[in-house]
């Protein structure tokens, strides 16, 4: 499946609306869009994962890299609207304690 990443700006917050599956094939596309925003000083970024039904460890790697880049630049990012199936990956790996997740959608499509 393909990945779609749409960047919107709402007030001073950049919102990345991600749709599709995040896996070894599509993760580079997400990283290519996300990382430049993370490297800019002081950015506030929300990554909306409402339309992401599947993510593998490659996707986790993108978000860990983004966290590191945001700490180095002084930017901040959160994940929001994370489907339950995807949220479980963050929980199992312990990343839900490190990466801010605003809202997880419980009972999402399995």
User: pLDDT of 62-91, one tens digit each?
Assistant: 999 999 999 999 999 999 999 999 999 999
Mind listing the pLDDT tens digit for each residue in 5-26?
999 998 889 999 999 999 999 9
Whole-model pTM: value is 0.89
Does 73 fall in a domain?
Answer: yes
In a domain, 25, yes or no: yes
CATH of the domain at 8: 3.30.750.24
Q: Write down the mean pLDDT value for the chain.
A: 92
- 105, pLDDT greater than 90: no
Alpha-carbon distances, residue 2 vs 25, 45, 46, 61, 68 (angstroms): 9, 23, 21, 18, 26
Does any domain span residue 110?
A: no
Q: Taking a C-beta distance cutoff of 8 angstroms, is the pair 19, 4 a contact?
A: yes
Domain assignment of residue 39, yes or no:
yes
Question: What H or E segment, with its residue span, contains residue 77?
Answer: strand 76-80
> Which domain, by its residues, includes 47?
3-105
**Could you give the number of structural domains in the chain?**
1
Asked if residue 81 belongs to a domain, the reply is yes
């Amino acid at each position: 499946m393909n990945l779609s990443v749409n960047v919107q700006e709402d007030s001073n917050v950049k919102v990345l609306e991600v749709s599709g599956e995040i896996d070894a094939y599509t993760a580079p596309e997400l990283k290519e869009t996300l990382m430049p925003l993370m490297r800019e000083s002081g950015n506030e970024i929300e990554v909306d994962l409402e339309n992401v039904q599947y993510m593998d460890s490659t996707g986790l790697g993108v978000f860990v890299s983004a966290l590191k880049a945001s700490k180095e630049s002084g930017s901040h990012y959160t994940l929001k609207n994370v489907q339950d199936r995807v949220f479980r990956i963050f929980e199992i790996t312990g990343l839900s304690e490190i990466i801010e997740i605003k809202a997880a959608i419980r009972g999402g499509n399995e």
